[in-house]
């Protein structure tokens, strides 16, 4: 092929720029160049740019998707989006390529005599409906279940909940956000009586100090991290990384403080001790707006089947709380946590200084924790004691990992105990939902059934016989994986999986439905800052693929619920959204009209009188405040937030002589979760082709392990061999290892423990005991 010299020079110039960017990124994690967004974008006049939220993480960047001849060919950050202000990370930038992997599922597949056979969509849907009917007839309504995700669009989750909870009458509805966000939800519910952050990303532009609680933002929330670094450049803000492992975030922070696993509980209490001991309490705020409570302790870890726990909150007074904190002086906590008393005082001094605005950020480190609800409560305590909350720049902020963990799972309520508005245990909430769903109120069962781990255990025990899994990959993500994989293979279980690519989860399916992904259909996502964002259908899905929403609607009709599933194919997303909006009417949670979502890069609920609410519970910004005071924590009946007395407790499994290391698992910047999409994007796959085990460099030297050497990891649940990574990206402490979970060829969850927080039921993927050997 002829290449002109000019083309070649321009290509080489791009290569030179890319090399420089790669070098810069290695030196400065989180570095961003505006030109980077444009570098590889085809320069064509036929490109039609359309707005959408990014497909991947919960930051929810606004992107512009370039469409050419019916194909999505490019992505750039949307300059109009207040989330990312035109920036985009490496995953977002390559996101459209995830639609065009060679092995996209395009036809429904049905397992017959151990082999998958292509079938038509109509036949596959008929089969699913008849299997559901048969299962309900033989085993009862609670034998059928659906397991979705924080990647479900709002309409997907809404119709799933309406079908299962409203029409069939089972609360067997769960989503993978149980594995990533449940502790954040119970943290909010127990402290404030209402879910989701009070602040927003604009807090980044106001805060002076950022404390990252076990949160590797440089890799997991790169665009937000770059906004923080930008503020450091402009205003000299401080970034403190508080973590169990040295990461790219630690390296880019002003201060990195390492703590021993699970002892964040003790350190948070020590910060509260310091605040009280130094007279830094914002007394008038606490007197007016807070109550003090304690709950049960030594709750266990949910390791046994049918484990149940209900907390018994008890009011206490400030003096009792103060006495409790005497066990958490910085000097005592230094011994527990490995964090020096000096560093604890250093952190406390920022929270305590009335002239500093502090933002605390966290994600999986605090949520995937057997005391996840507690540690969420404890960080709120720090902000409540100092009154640093619900004002610009003073913000405890729980981040999310999936594009609609908030929008679909938390707001639509696709968890066993939830309804779109409220909970199944509340008669008023049931009546409200039943009216909008047009079902008899008795249909909605007042008793929650199974949370995620227990749902898979119920499948194993045979209480659940039918499971429909949509847009998630539990055969990579469930902890103690083998038990749950074996469960799906048992006689008399029927599994339907809707997805876009073959995965270890489609491998266990009886029926595989090809799904339309992201902009191949219409929908909405809700991000971490209560922002609902709409996207239109921009391209056709491949083959017979249809949206998860429409798959559910079709099956609902086949089950005889035509009246409730009256939606027309052409307008169903609009009809569903308008119906869903009714659940949230009122000043506390009103959703923006669809026309607004179509016209701008999202809107933040509560959306009242044509305006998004940026800071909740602050009467200056939040129209739902009605107590005549500056702040109103209206989620709780007394209008007050709760400061919780929660102690430090041990993790369920700690290193011992047989298993002397801590095993921590997590993500990497190149891949999104289980990698089923990003591993099909060549540049991301090449950048991070396989899993690895990260070791402490000094310890690796003593053990004679170099990068690339084979290392065997063994826990009480299984073993796996991985290549070593020494001094490459993260640096674990001595006797710690880290393994990312994106590689389905190296399933680290064979080794993890299925212990969970007794309140949130969210598993802890960050801590278990492991043996490490060079092979």
Partner 1 sequence: MSYLKRYVMPIKSYLAHPHKNEKQALINALSGIEKCEVIPSENKDLLIVVTDTDNNLEEDHLKEQIESISSLKLLVMVSGFDTPKSK
Catalytic residues: 91, 180-181, 364, 401-402
Q: Taking the complex as a whole, how short is the minimal distance between the CB of residue 222 and ligand SF4, in angstroms? A: 5
For tokens 């500093």, the residue is 356
- The correct pick among 81, 176, 226, 725 for binding partner 1 (CB under 8 A) is 226
Secondary structure element (H or E) that encloses residue 273, with its range: helix 264-277
* CA distance linking residue 532 with residue 604, whole number of Å: 6
- For residues 724 and 59, what is the distance between their CA atoms, to the nearest angstrom? 31
Biggest CA-to-CA distance, the chain: 82
Minimum CB distance to ligand SF4 smaller for 165 or for 671: 671
* Token pair in block for residue 487: 């469960």
Binding residue per annotation — 113?
no
Binding partner 1 by CB under 8 A: which of 2, 43, 113, 233?
A: 233
Return d(Cα 491, Cα 736) in angstroms, integer.
Answer: 40
| CB nearer ligand SF4, residue 57 or residue 243 | 57
Q: Which residues contact 355 (CB under 8 A, 6 or more apart)?
A: none
**Does 84 belong to an annotated binding site?**
no
DSSP β-ladder status, 62-68 and 48-53: antiparallel
Residue 488 interacts with, from ligand SF4, partner 1, none (CB under 5-8 Å by kind) = none
Crossing angle of helices 481-488 and 452-461, in 10° steps, is 50
If binding is defined by CB under 6 A, does position 57 make contact with ligand SF4? yes
Pull the structure tokens for residue 730. Answer: 């993260």
Contact segment (CB under 6 A) with ligand SF4 among 52-60, 638-646, 658-666, 705-713 equals 52-60
From 30-38, 54-62, 206-214, 407-415, give the range in contact with ligand SF4 by CB under 6 A: 54-62
Considering only 32, 59, 434, 555, the residue that binds ligand SF4 (CB under 6 A) is 59
Segment near partner 1 (CB under 8 A); pick from 30-38, 309-317, 440-448, 757-765: 30-38
User: Minimal distance in Å, beta carbon 227 to partner 1?
Assistant: 8
CB of 226 to ligand SF4, least distance (A): 9
Single out the residue of 668, 665, 735, 656 nearest to residue 700, CA to CA. Answer: 735
**Shortest distance, position 319 Cβ to partner 1, whole Å:** 47
Smallest gap from Cβ 24 to partner 1, in A, equals: 6
Residue 490's nearest CA partner among 508, 505, 472 is 508
Nearer to partner 1, 234 or 298 (CB): 234
Of residues 189 and 252, the one with the C-beta less far from partner 1: 252
Tell me the per-residue interface mask from 47 to 86 with partner 1, x by CB under 8 A, - otherwise. Answer: ----------------------------------------
- Residue closer to partner 1 (CB basis): 31 or 341: 31
d(CA 741, CA 739): 6
CB 208 within 8 A of CB 393: yes
Which of 8, 447, 461, 563 lies at the binding interface for partner 1 (CB under 8 A)? Answer: 8
* Closest-approach residue to ligand SF4 (CB): 92
61, 64, 211, 513: which one binds ligand SF4 (CB under 6 A): 61
Please spell the DSSP secondary structure of 136-188, one letter per residue.
Answer: HHHH-GGGEEEEE-TTS-HHHHHHHHIIIIIII----EEEGGGGTTHHHHHHH
What distance lies between CA 270 and its chain's CA centroid?
Answer: 28
Using CA atoms, how far apart are residues 48 and 65, in angstroms rounded to an integer?
8
Please, where are the H alpha helices in 48-153? 90-93, 121-139
Instruction: Find the binding residues for ligand SF4 in span 166-225 (CB under 6 A).
Output: 221-223
User: Which residues from 215-274 bind ligand SF4, rule CB under 6 A?
Assistant: 221-223
| Residue 477: partners with Cβ closer than 8 Å, 6 or more residues away | 176, 179, 673, 674, 741, 749
Residue 9 lies near partner 1 (rule: CB under 8 A): yes
Asked if 92 interacts with ligand SF4 (CB under 6 A), we say yes
For residue 184, the minimal CB distance to partner 1 (Å) is: 27
Residue 385 · residue 287 · CB < 8 Å: no
Question: How many residues in the shown chain lie near ligand SF4 by CB under 6 A?
Answer: 14
Residue 396 is a binding residue for ligand SF4 (CB under 6 A): no
Of 659, 647, 649, 648, give the one whose Cα is nearest residue 768.
659
Say whether 262 counts as a known binding-site residue. no
Give the one residue of 19, 120, 278, 323 binding partner 1; rule: CB under 8 A.
Answer: 19
- Which residue's CB is nearer to partner 1, number 227 or number 736? 227
- For ligand SF4, give the closer residue by CB, 228 or 333: 228
Q: Pick the closest to residue 624 from 583, 587, 585, 584 (CA basis).
A: 587
Q: How far apart are CA 129 and CA 538, in angstroms?
A: 30
Distances (CA, A) of 75 to 61, 129, 464: 11, 38, 42
Which one, 79 or 446, has the nearer CB to partner 1?
A: 79
Residue 307's binding partner out of ligand SF4, partner 1, none, with CB under 5 to 8 Å set by partner kind? none
* Closest distance of CB 258 from partner 1, Å: 25
Smallest distance from partner 1 to CB 257, Å = 23
Q: How far from each other are the two terminal CA atoms of the chain, in whole angstroms? A: 48
Residue 665 labeled ligand binder: yes
The site partner of 229 among partner 1, ligand SF4, none (C-beta below 5 to 8 Å per kind) is partner 1
What string of DSSP letters covers 349-402? HHHH-TT--EEEEESHHHHSSTTHHHHHHHHHHHHHHTT--SBTTBEEEE--SS
407 contacts ligand SF4 (rule: CB under 6 A): no
Residues belonging to the binding site for [4Fe-4S] cluster are 54, 57, 61, 89
Residues belonging to the binding site are 54, 57, 61, 89, 91, 151, 176, 180, 364, 368, 473, 498-499, 548, 665-674, 741, 749, 766
Using CB under 8 A as the criterion, which residues of the chain lie in contact with partner 1 when the complex forms?
5, 8-9, 12-13, 15-17, 19-21, 23-24, 27-28, 30-35, 87, 226-227, 229-230, 233
Using CB under 6 A as the criterion, which residues of the chain lie in contact with ligand SF4 when the complex forms?
54, 56-57, 59-61, 84, 88-89, 91-92, 221-223
């Amino acid at each position: 092929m002829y290449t002109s010299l000019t083309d070649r020079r321009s290509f080489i110039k791009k290569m030179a720029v890319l090399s420089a960017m790669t070098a810069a990124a290695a030196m400065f994690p989180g570095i961003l160049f505006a030109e980077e967004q444009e570098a590889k974008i085809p320069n064509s006049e036929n490109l039609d740019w359309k707005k959408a939220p990014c497909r991947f993480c919960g930051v929810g960047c606004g992107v512009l998707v370039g469409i050419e001849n019916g194909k999505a060919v490019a992505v750039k950050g949307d300059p109009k989006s207040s989330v990312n202000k035109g920036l985009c990370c490496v995953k977002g930038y390559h996101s459209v390529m995830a639609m065009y992997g060679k092995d996209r599922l395009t036809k429904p597949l049905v397992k017959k005599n151990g082999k998958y056979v292509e079938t038509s969509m109509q036949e596959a849907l008929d089969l699913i409906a008849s299997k559901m009917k048969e299962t309900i007839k033989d085993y009862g309504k609670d034998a059928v279940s659906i397991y979705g995700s924080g990647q479900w669009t709002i309409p997907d989750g809404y119709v799933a909940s309406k079908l299962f909870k409203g029409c069939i009458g089972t609360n067997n509805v769960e989503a993978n956000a149980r594995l990533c966000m449940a502790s954040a939800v119970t943290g909010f519910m127990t402290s404030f009586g209402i879910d989701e952050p009070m602040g927003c990303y604009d807090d980044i532009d106001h805060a002076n100090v950022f404390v990252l609680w076990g949160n590797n933002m440089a890799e997991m929330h790169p665009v937000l991290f770059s906004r923080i670094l930008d503020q450091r450049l402009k205003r000299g803000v401080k970034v403190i990384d508080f973590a169990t492992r040295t990461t790219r975030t630690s390296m880019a922070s002003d201060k990195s403080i390492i703590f021993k696993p699970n002892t964040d509980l003790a350190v948070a209490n020590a910060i509260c001790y310091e605040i009280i001991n130094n007279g830094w309490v914002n007394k008038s705020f606490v007197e007016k707006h807070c109550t003090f409570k304690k709950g049960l302790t030594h709750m266990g870890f949910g390791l046994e089947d049918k484990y149940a726990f209900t907390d018994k909150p008890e009011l206490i007074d400030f003096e009792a709380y103060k006495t409790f904190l005497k066990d958490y002086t910085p000097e005592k906590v230094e011994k527990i946590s490995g964090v020096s008393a000096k560093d604890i005082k250093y952190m406390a001094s920022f929270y305590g200084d009335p002239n500093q605005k502090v933002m605390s950020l966290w994600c999986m480190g605090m949520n995937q924790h057997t005391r996840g609800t507690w540690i969420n409560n404890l960080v709120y305590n720090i902000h409540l004691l100092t009154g640093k909350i619900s004002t610009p720049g003073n913000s405890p902020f729980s981040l999310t990992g999936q594009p609609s963990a908030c929008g679909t799972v938390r707001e639509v309520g696709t968890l066993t105990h939830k309804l779109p508005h409220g909970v199944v245990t509340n008669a008023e909430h049931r009546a409200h939902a039943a009216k909008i769903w047009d079902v008899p109120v008795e249909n909605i069962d007042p008793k929650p059934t199974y949370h995620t781990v227990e749902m898979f255990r119920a499948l194993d025990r045979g209480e659940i016989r039918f499971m429909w899994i949509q847009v998630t990959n539990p055969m990579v993500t469930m902890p103690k994986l083998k038990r749950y994989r074996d469960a799906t293979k048992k006689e008399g279980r029927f599994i339907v999986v809707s997805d876009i690519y073959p995965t270890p989860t489609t491998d266990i399916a009886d029926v595989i439905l090809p799904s339309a992904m992201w902009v191949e259909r219409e929908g909405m996502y809700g991000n971490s800052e209560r922002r609902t964002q709409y996207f239109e259908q921009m391209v056709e899905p491949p083959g017979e693929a249809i949206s998860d929403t429409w798959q559910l609607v079709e099956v609902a009709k086949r089950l005889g619920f035509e009246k409730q599933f009256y939606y027309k194919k052409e307008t169903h997303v609009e009809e569903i959204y308008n119906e869903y909006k009714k659940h949230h009417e009122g000043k506390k949670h009103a959703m923006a009209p669809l026309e607004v979502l179509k016209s701008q890069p999202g809107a933040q609920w509560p959306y009242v009188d044509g305006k998004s609410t940026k800071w909740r519970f602050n009467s200056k910004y939040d129209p739902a405040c009605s107590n005549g005071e500056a702040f109103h924590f209206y989620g709780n009946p007394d209008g007050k937030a709760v400061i919780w007395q929660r102690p430090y407790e041990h993790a369920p499994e700690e290193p011992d002589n047989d298993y002397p290391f801590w095993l921590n698992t997590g993500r990497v910047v190149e891949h999104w979760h289980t990698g089923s999409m990003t591993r099909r994007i060549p540049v991301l796959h090449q950048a991070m082709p396989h899993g690895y085990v990260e070791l402490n460099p000094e310890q690796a030297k003593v053990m004679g392990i170099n990068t690339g050497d084979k290392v065997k990891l063994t826990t009480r649940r299984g073993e796996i061999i991985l290549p070593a990574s020494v001094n490459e990206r993260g640096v674990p402490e001595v006797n710690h290892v880290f393994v990312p979970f994106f590689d389905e060829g190296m399933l680290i969850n064979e080794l993890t423990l299925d212990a969970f927080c007794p309140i949130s039921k969210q598993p802890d993927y960050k801590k278990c005991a492991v043996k490490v050997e060079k092979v």
